Amino acid sequence: MNRETSAAWHYHNLTKHSYESVRKDRHYLDWETQPLPFKVYPDLPPIPLPREWEELRSSALAALNPSPVGDDKAPTLTDLSALLYFSAGILKSRRYPGGEMFFRAASCTGALYEIEIYLVCRDLEGLRAGVYHFNPGDFSLRLMRPGDYRGLIASAAGDEPSLLYAPVVLIFSGTFWRNAWKYRNRTYRHFGWDNGTILANTLAVSVGYGLSTKVVLGFEDETLNELLNLDVKREVVLSLVSLGRDRDTVLGRKQTLEPLKLGVVAQKGEIDYPEMRQMHSATFLTSAQEVAEWRSHHYSPKHPAPQGESFRLAPAPVEKYPDSVERVISRRGSSRSFQRKSITFEQFSTILHYASLNLWADFLSSSGTLNDWYLIVHDVDGVQPGSYFFHRDRRAIELLRTGNFRNLAGRLGLEQALPADAAFDVFFLSDLHAVLEALGNRGYRAAQLEAGILGGKIYLASYAVHLGATGLTFYDDEVADFFSPHARGKSAIFLMACGPGRKRPSAF
């Protein structure tokens, strides 16, 4: 198949970081145009969400391993409330001279929180059928469209089976300016990462409630943007999650969309970055047939058998770290420094093992992945410091090169101390040539999103075993060069550092 992939390559190359580019292209924040942290609909009344729920039954580690299809179950309003809180709610705040920062359940580049969540449901106990916007600021929903629009979503998604039976669908969008204020053209990569870290929490909490979930990336973009009345120069739908499972299908239920006119509080001094919008438009699917055709292709990674010495992981059973997923999310925070202390092989294995288990998404085959795991190990008991490749299918790491790479890891991670001081770093690299060949430009969106979800799962697994973690940015080509020849031709997508960390002191 000859897919159109030039837009993804153009954008990817345009937004690479290098030692030279970060020096040549310095950017200073304009505090006059600092974006609002929330999307506000001034004319829609808030529907406050309940703030009390029972602690979940599932441990965080167990929650990282969802089964393909859960029970027939619909979430209650309390389940939804907990799910939204632990996905994107405000868990901490910190005062600073100019105001107050609100930190949310999932990590986010620059704490700018550009991802919005919308909820679409049938009639549920305590919530009538409709399309709602979730505002974490006042922890409320706002009804944008009354009525059951799930049929329209399922049909726009080419009758994706999980959506045909889902009582609730969450829609995630990205708001360009809220992140581009600081990161400019890089924001489109951040959309995938920051949507992904939220999704990791959503998926894990859903397991705790026994709800089936599936991440869906195949849908007609224009229909969903219209459903949410988005001004697509500013905000665009990125992904969907089906939540729960009914016996009855929504198949064949079609709705027509009436245009909406909803006022939104405007941002000051927005700057448009057309290259990101062009990149996004190039990923569009424009008909249900195109969606179905796109979904019928999968990228299957072909990894050579280990050539070097390899070591099987020895993860802990879930019972050893019984903290519930909410407890783990509540104590999560990005490590601001690492202590340069060793971690056990069991902690290391547990993080890699649980973070790499099942991810149900329409862009992945059952055991598939778009990202490969390359590691730099600094200080893990019983593991020689060096670089490694993680064979997910074999549950083993293969030694690529021994050496003390602390300084080098710091350099690869944009000259920051965090990846140098961590116990180990995970670099996600993708064979973008093959991924884009299979999935076209939309494959770029999928690769970034999957890396974000995996990063979010690494956060959860690290905090479950009482360690710290942080997402990081990197010098693209230097990362690929460092792991070559094994990684020859691959592209750096995302970086996570893990180890005994210190968090930012929280206000609570």
Ligand X SMILES: Cc1cc2nc3c(=O)[nH]c(=O)nc-3n(C[C@H](O)[C@H](O)[C@H](O)COP(=O)(O)O)c2cc1C
- Binding stretches for ligand X (CB under 6 A): 103, 107-111, 193-194, 197, 333-334, 414, 416, 418, 470-473, 504
Q: Which is nearer to ligand X, 150 or 332 (CB)?
A: 332
Q: Which is nearer to ligand X, 90 or 216 (CB)?
A: 90
Tell the smallest beta-carbon distance from residue 191 to ligand X (Å).
Answer: 10
Tell the smallest beta-carbon distance from residue 109 to ligand X (Å).
Answer: 5
**Contact indicator for 430, 444 with CB cutoff of 8 Å:** no
Bridge partners of residue 96, in order along the sequence: 99
- Torsion angles phi and psi, residue 293, rounded to 5: -65, -45
- Torsion angles phi and psi, residue 327, rounded to 5: -60, -45
- Torsion angles phi and psi, residue 16, rounded to 5: -70, 145
> 493 to each of 189, 193, 236, 287, how far by Cα in Å?
9, 9, 21, 29
Tell the smallest beta-carbon distance from residue 456 to ligand X (Å).
Answer: 8
Tell the smallest beta-carbon distance from residue 192 to ligand X (Å).
Answer: 9
Q: Which is nearer to ligand X, 193 or 405 (CB)?
A: 193
Q: Which is nearer to ligand X, 288 or 423 (CB)?
A: 423
Bridge partners of residue 130, in order along the sequence: 121, 146
Q: Which is nearer to ligand X, 107 or 175 (CB)?
A: 107
Q: Which is nearer to ligand X, 236 or 422 (CB)?
A: 422
Q: Which is nearer to ligand X, 106 or 164 (CB)?
A: 106
- Long-range pairs, 127-135, Cβ under 8 A, ≥24: 127/47, 127/77, 127/80, 131/227, 131/228, 132/47, 133/39, 133/41, 133/44, 133/228, 134/84, 134/88, 135/38, 135/39, 135/40, 135/41, 135/46
Per DSSP, 157 falls in state T
Distance CA 114, CA 452 (A): 14
Tell the smallest beta-carbon distance from residue 70 to ligand X (Å).
Answer: 27
Tell the smallest beta-carbon distance from residue 343 to ligand X (Å).
Answer: 20
Tell the smallest beta-carbon distance from residue 459 to ligand X (Å).
Answer: 8
